[in-house]
Amino acid sequence: MSVARDMAGTRVAVLGGSGFVGSAVAARLAAAGARVRVVARAPGVPPFPAEVVAADLAEPGAVAAAVAGADVVLPLVLFTGGGTWRVAEGGAADAARVNIGVVAEAVAAAGAAVVFAGSTSQVGPGAPERIDGTEPDRPESEYDRQKCAAERLVLDAGGCSLRLPTVFGPATGSPDRGVVTAMARRAIAGEPLTVWGAGDMERDLVFVEDVAEAFAAAVAHADRLAGRAWLVGSGAGVPVHALFELVAATVARHTGRPAVRVRSVPPPAHATPLDFRSLVADPSALTRATGWRARVPPADGVSRTVAALVASGVDGRGRAP
Band (pLDDT 50/70/90 cuts) for residue 176 is low
**So what's the pLDDT on residue 319?**
46
How would you write 203-217 as a 3-class SS string? ECEEEHHHHHHHHHH
Q: How confident is the model at residue 44 (pLDDT cuts 50, 70, 90)?
A: confident
Cα–Cα distance, 65 to 163 (Å, whole number) = 27
Of the listed ranges 4-13, 44-53, 235-244, the least confidently predicted one is 4-13
Q: What is the mean pLDDT of residues 278-291?
A: 97
pLDDT at position 312? 87
Whether 178 shows a pLDDT value over 50: the answer reads yes
Tell me the C-alpha distance between 180 and 160, whole Å: 28
Q: Tell me the range of 71-80, 174-183, 285-294 where mean pLDDT is highest.
A: 285-294
Q: Which residues partner with 183 through β-bridges?
A: none
Rounded mean pLDDT, 72-80: 87
At residue 267, does pLDDT exceed 50?
yes
Categorise residue 33: left if φ over 0, alpha if ψ from -120 to 50, beta otherwise.
Answer: left
Model confidence at 223, in pLDDT bands (50, 70, 90)?
A: very high
DSSP code for 172? S
pLDDT band at 89 (very low <50, low <70, confident <90, very high): low
Higher-pLDDT residue of 288, 268: 288
Residue 304 neighbours by CB distance under 10 Å: 18
Q: Let me know: does 30 contact 50? Beta carbons within 8 Å.
A: yes
- Amino acid type, 105: E
CA separation for the pair 129, 120 (Å, rounded) = 11
Q: Is the pLDDT of residue 224 over 90?
A: yes
- Tell me the pLDDT tens digit for each residue of 108-162: 998 779 999 999 999 998 899 999 999 999 998 888 999 999 999 999 999 999 9
For residue 278, pLDDT beyond 60:
yes
Average pLDDT over every residue of 27-40? 96
pTM value surpassing 0.85 = yes
Tell me what the mean pLDDT of segment 247-259 comes to: 98
pLDDT band at 240 (very low <50, low <70, confident <90, very high): very high
User: What is the per-residue pLDDT across 301-321, written as a single tens digit (0 to 9) for each?
Assistant: 999 999 999 998 855 444 433
CA–CA dist 302, 218 (Å, integer): 26
The predicted pLDDT at position 6 comes to 65
Q: How many CB atoms lie within 10 A of CB 186?
A: 20
The larger pLDDT score, comparing residue 38 to residue 98, is at 38
Please tell me the predicted confidence (pLDDT) of residue 221: 94
What strands, in cross-sheet order, belong to the sheet with 35-40?
A: 51-54, 35-40, 11-15, 72-75, 113-119, 160-164, 229-231
Sequence-distant (≥ 6) Cβ neighbours of residue 178 within 8 angstroms = 20, 166, 167, 168
- What is the pLDDT at residue 88? 58
Q: What's the whole-number average pLDDT of the chain?
A: 90
Using alpha carbons, list the distances in angstroms from residue 215 to 3, 174, 224. 10, 18, 13
Higher per-residue pLDDT: 252 or 110: 252
**Residues 6+ positions from 43 with CB-CB distance below 8 Å:** 17, 18, 52, 53, 54
Q: Which residues contact residue 139 at a Cβ distance below 8 angstroms, ignoring those fewer than 6 apart?
A: 121, 122, 123, 124, 145, 147, 148
Q: Which pLDDT value is given to residue 150?
A: 96
